[in-house]
Chains A and B, each alone.
Chain A
């Protein structure tokens, strides 16, 4: 049965690290703005040639 002791202790450690991650996320303000990161990741960094003014914008 002592294997359960080891497993439970391990699982508590894993769960504890997730709790730590939650606390860190909370403290670092990741829940403060839940909209802009989702948009921000889709912005493209344009290369030099792309930045030349285009004729006729996409509608």
Chain B
């Protein structure tokens, strides 16, 4: 809407539209708020204005962000120490996660920090990880000052419990790339050296040269087998030790057979060996493995309350305030919570005006008022003044956090498909070995010179290379297609789960309804433009979510000054605008008998102007566009139900879609939701849970596939398997269908590779497998299967318009 107004003034720093009360500096620079102006001033004083030349309006809006003593806890050595990568008397190193890094200007500014403040010796940005590595002299600048400097510039680092406890685990998994690189190098060279063999150029090569080439091949294959393929041997050994046979067992058998046979031929100088096939096989397998473990590095799917909770809380001890790590909070401790701070543990309110915003926990956007003596659950955010609380339970045992103590969070999801694959590989291995033995017995009676040849050839050719490749390639391609459509899957395995779904469970707030949007209607005499202006003027003074929604609803009007503004917490606001007295708030506040709200579906805000009642604003949950269509489509094949933490609301909207009242569950606690999913699973359903808040975390984890809808994929969301950009919600049905298609494609390519195996094994058992044929047949069969899998999934995606 704002973009429509042509004469909008953009903030020099952050590019936001400036409000009418914009702040000037010099002649041609405008700022939307003091924060942006401050940053500009800091930069211009230090001659760092090229920040603004690199990108247009690169800054981050500082509206509504003040940190006060928020970072005071960094002065507590006990808390700060584990955050540092390195600490000595005059040099400390720290790596901070800064989600706000978004453009080249950010890199420039952050890497020129040393110009702003003395004591910063080094700063280096990792753009992909959104991290800043800093070196500083603690005798000149403290960690707190450093972090505050970053926060002033709009680059507040994320310092949370999670970072604290997982500091050591953040190491990139580059091993697979190194392996692919080295194996690829060896494979290329081995193939090159095998060229004379491929083209039957034996006659050109003298004996000595041939020998030399073969031995070079052996040398180049050693790293392939002992480094590249080591993972398969280890995995096969481990699974055999547990008396299970996974797909790595036949692979290991195949690779070993190749190696032994080739080594035998080379040592006895009876043939050139299958070195090229061996290297090519391992190379392809590693590529498959890399794809299998591919995931979106910039998205974290494993976040829990720890990534959200603060590191420290301000504790009052003997009248003095000090910071203490939240993990050390004990029942009875007095803590101070300021505006916009999070309540870390279940507590009792001692004093202060508490307005708790539980939107993060429940998805409910209305703040709840609490009075002194009331119990406050952890996870809420205080809005307003400072409050004092007494901790009742340690952080780990608070209502919200104890959800994570549930055993559901301790175990990994078992993939039914992995089970299928391991069953399959068991039979596959047995069949291969028995065919090899049969062939050997057959040749024992017919031609004893071929026994060894046929036996090893069967083991080699039966190696399920194409089989193992088809799955990761199809799934990776599907994952890529999903990603293009705003659906981010944790790993390729999730797609297989998604294909088997029989029951879809929805959360209501934030999932079926919009998070922040509400449809607002004014009921009463239609307001005149002048009245709207009056109401807006008063509403714009308040930070209450309802006032802000009304403010936004009333649109752009010239602003007018408000006198005698007063806010009665929990009741309403009043003020005098242009000699007119305006009152906005609850019915009682305005002086109207509130009509009892039977279904509680709406929030009402009453208005009176000059003591005359004008009517009320009705704010109603707004459902996502097309939600009914999507659900109706899903309904044709899947069972649907709804789990909501809310009161019983919106039945007229929900009932036609979910059909039966028993499919709708209201007033569900996080634990109830988890249990409901468990109940469905014991009935044999495969459950897809779609939610958004931390209160769904248990259900998301317990379900076969946990899906989170979010407006911003980089914002906070609970641990899940699939992350869906909320704009793509109405194509949900397509996504589920496409995951099924993918699984079918995998099955088809399985069949294709079995056909190849059949041909190969036939030839091998007949003793007809020449090294050249193997070298061509094995990669070609693998590649054709891969091409089939990738081609088909892309084709189907196009057909489904994904």
B-contacting residues of A (Cβ < 8 Å)? 1, 4-5, 8, 12, 15, 19, 22-23, 26-27, 29, 31-36, 39-40, 42-44, 46, 50-59
Interface string of B47-68 (1 = CB under 8 A from A): 1111011101000000000000
Per-residue CB contact flags for chain B residues 159-182 toward chain A (1 = under 8 Å, else 0) read: 000000000000010100110011
> Mind listing 5 A-B residue pairs with CB under 8 Å?
A19-B181, A26-B178, A33-B129, A36-B125, A51-B47
Complex contact A35–B129 (CB within 8 A):
no
Q: A15-B189, A35-B128 are in contact. List 19 more A-B contacts (CB 8 A).
A: A1-B206, A5-B209, A5-B212, A8-B212, A8-B216, A19-B185, A22-B185, A23-B178, A31-B174, A32-B172, A33-B125, A34-B128, A39-B107, A40-B111, A42-B104, A43-B111, A46-B47, A51-B48, A53-B45
Tell which of A23, A29, A31, A43 touches B108, judged by Cβ atoms closer than 8 Å: A43
Cα A26 to Cα B54 with chains together (Å): 30
**How many Å from the CB of B184 to the closest CB on chain A?**
9
**Assembly CA distance A13 to B48 (angstroms):** 49
User: Does B126 sit within 8 A of A, measured CB to CB?
Assistant: yes
Cβ-based interface call for B127 (8 A):
yes
**Interface presence of B521 (CB below 8 A):** no
User: Which of A5, A36, A46 interacts with B107 by CB under 8 Å?
Assistant: A36
Alpha-carbon gap, A35 to B128, bound state (A): 7
> Does B318 count as interface, using CB distance less than 8 angstroms?
no
Give the distance in Å from the alpha carbon of A5 to the alpha carbon of B126 in the complex.
Answer: 46
User: CA of A54 to CA of B49 in the docked complex: distance in angstroms?
Assistant: 8
Q: Are A33 and B128 in contact (CB under 8 A)?
A: yes
Quick check: A57 and B52 within 8 Å, CB to CB? yes
A58 near B53: Cβ-Cβ < 8 Å: yes
Q: How far is the CA of A56 from the CA of B48 in the complex (A)?
A: 14
Q: Check if A40 sits within 8 Å of B185, measured CB to CB.
A: no
Given A33, A51, A58, which contacts B127 in the complex, CB threshold below 8 Å?
Answer: A33
Bound CA span A8–B211, Å: 13
| Complex: A1 Cα to B45 Cα, angstroms | 73
Q: Is B242 on the interface with A (CB-CB < 8 A)?
A: no
Chain B residues with CB under 8 Å of A23's CB are 178, 181-182
Q: How far is the CB of A54 from chain B (nearest CB, A)?
A: 7
- The tally of residues in B whose CB lies under 8 Å from a CB in A reads 38
Contact of A26 among B47, B125, B177, B213 (CB under 8 A): B177
Q: Is the CB of A4 within 8 A of B126?
A: no
Smallest beta-carbon distance B27→chain A, Å = 8
Asked if B127 and A26 make an inter-chain contact with CB atoms under 8 angstroms apart, the answer reads no
Q: Whole-angstrom distance between the alpha carbons of A27 and B172 in the complex?
A: 11
**A-B CB proximity, top 5 nearest:** A51-B47, A39-B104, A36-B127, A35-B127, A33-B126
| Complex Cα–Cα for A44 and B49 (A) | 12
Q: How far is the CB of B276 from chain A (nearest CB, A)?
A: 16
Indicate the member of B48, B49, B172, B182 with the most A CB atoms within 10 Å: B49
Q: Is B44 an interface residue (CB 8 A)?
A: yes
Bound CA–CA A19/B125 (angstroms): 28
Candidates B49, B104, B108, B189; contact of A12 at CB < 8 Å: B189
Asked if A26 and B209 make an inter-chain contact with CB atoms under 8 angstroms apart, the answer reads no
Query: What residues on A are CB-neighbors of B174 within 8 Å?
Result: 26, 31
Q: Are B126 and A12 in contact (CB under 8 A)?
A: no
Shortest C-beta distance, A17 to chain B (Å), equals: 11
* Contact present for B126 and A40 (CB under 8 Å): no
B593 CB–A CB distance under 8 Å:
no
B30-78: which have CB < 8 Å to A? 44-45, 47-50, 52-54, 56
Question: Contacts of A33 on B, CB cut-off 8 Å?
Answer: 125-129
Inter-chain CA distance A32–B213, complex, in Å, is: 37
Instruction: Output the nearest chain A residue to B124 by Cβ-Cβ distance.
Output: A36
CB distance from B313 to the nearest CB of A (A): 34
Q: A12-B216, A39-B104 are in contact. Are A53 and B127 (CB under 8 A)?
A: no
Tell whether B26 is near chain A: CB-to-CB under 8 Å: yes
- Docked-complex contact B47 and A53, CB < 8 angstroms: yes
Minimal beta-carbon separation of B548 from chain A (angstroms):
32
In-complex Cβ contact of A15 among B45, B52, B185 (8 A): B185
Given A32-B129, A57-B49, A22:B181 Cβ within 8 A = yes
Task: Tell me the bound Cα distance from A57 to B11 in angstroms.
Answer: 13
Closest B residue to A50 by beta carbon equals: B47
Residue B530, interface by CB 8 Å: no
Which partner residue on chain A sits nearest B56 by CB separation? Answer: A59
Within 8 Å of chain A (Cβ to Cβ): is B28?
yes
Smallest CB gap from A18: residue in B? B185
How far is the CB of A4 from the nearest CB of chain B, in Å? Answer: 6
Contact A32 B189 (CB under 8 A): no
Residues 680-717 of B, flagged 1 when their CB comes within 8 A of A and 0 if not, give 00000000000000000000000000000000000000
- Binary contact track B1-38/A, C-beta < 8 Å → 1, others 0: 00000000000100000000000001011000000000
Nearest CB in chain B: distance from A56 CB, A = 6
Question: If the complex has contacts A5-B209, A26-B177, are A32 and B126 also in contact, measured as CB distance less than 8 A?
Answer: yes
Query: How far, in angstroms, from A8 to B45 measured CA to CA in the complex?
Result: 63
Q: How far is the CA of A32 from the CA of B130 in the complex (A)?
A: 11
Docked-complex contact A1 and B53, CB < 8 angstroms: no
| A residues less than 8 Å from B181 (CB atoms) | 19, 22-23, 26
Q: Name which residue of chain A comes closest to B104, CB basis.
A: A39
- Please report which residues of chain B, range 90-110, place their CB below 8 angstroms from some CB of chain A when the two chains form the complex: 104, 107-108
> How far is A56 from B181 in the complex, measured between Cα atoms in Å?
51
CA–CA, A43 to B109, complex, Å?
A: 10
Complex: chain B residue closest to A56, CB-CB: B28
CB contacts (< 8 Å) of A42 on chain B: these are 104
A9–B343 CA distance with the chains assembled, in angstroms? 68
Docked complex Cα distance between A27 and B108 (Å): 26
Bound complex: CA of A39 vs CA of B29, how far in Å? 27
Select the residue from A19, A46, A50, A57 with max chain B CB neighbours within 10 A: A57
Chain A nearest CB from B753 CB (Å) reads 32
A16 to B228, CA, bound (A): 17
Residues of chain A lying within 8 A (CB to CB) of residue B12: 57
Asked if B177 contacts A31 (CB within 8 A), the reply is yes
Residue pair A52, B47 in contact (C-beta under 8 Å): yes
A27 neighbours in B (Cβ, 8 Å): 178
Name the A residues within 8 Å of B209 (CB-CB): 1, 4-5
Cβ of A7 to closest chain B Cβ, rounded Å: 11
Closest to B204 in A: A1
Contact with A along B112-146 (1 / 0, CB 8 A): 00000000000001111100000000000000000
**Interface 1/0 per residue, B184-209 and A, CB below 8 Å:** 01000100010000000000001011
Residue of A36, A40, A54 with most chain B CB atoms under a 10 A cut-off: A36
Nearest Cβ in chain B — how far from A9, in angstroms?
A: 9
**Minimal Cβ-Cβ distance residue in A for B175:** A26
Contact call B53/A57, Cβ cutoff below 8 A: yes
Chain B residues positioned under 8 Å from A5 (CB to CB): 209, 212
Chain B residues in 8 Å Cβ range of A19: 181-182, 185
**Least distance between A2 CB and chain B CB atoms (Å):** 8
In Å, the complex CA distance between A16 and B178 comes to 14
In the complex, which of the residues A36, A44, A50, A56 contacts B126, with contact meaning CB atoms closer than 8 Å?
Answer: A36
> In the complex the two chains form, what is the Cα distance from A54 to B52 in whole Å?
12
Residues of B within 8 A of A31 (CB): 174, 177
Contact flags B248-268 to A (C-beta < 8 A → 1, else 0): 000000000000000000000
Residues of B within 8 A of A43 (CB): 54, 108, 111
With the chains together, A52 CA to B50 CA distance in Å?
11
Q: Which residues of A contact B50 (CB under 8 A)?
A: 44, 46
**Residues of A contacting B208 in the complex (Cβ-Cβ under 8 angstroms):** 1
- CB-CB under 8 A from A39, the residues of chain B are 104, 107-108, 127
Q: Which of A12, A33, A44 has the most CB of B within 10 A?
A: A33
Q: In the complex, what residues of A have CB within 8 A of residue B172's CB?
A: 29, 32
Which residues of A have CB within 8 Å of B47? 46, 50-53
- Cα–Cα distance between A5 and B207 once the two chains are bound (Å): 13
What's the least CB distance linking B581 to chain A, in Å?
46
A10 to chain B, nearest CB (A): 13
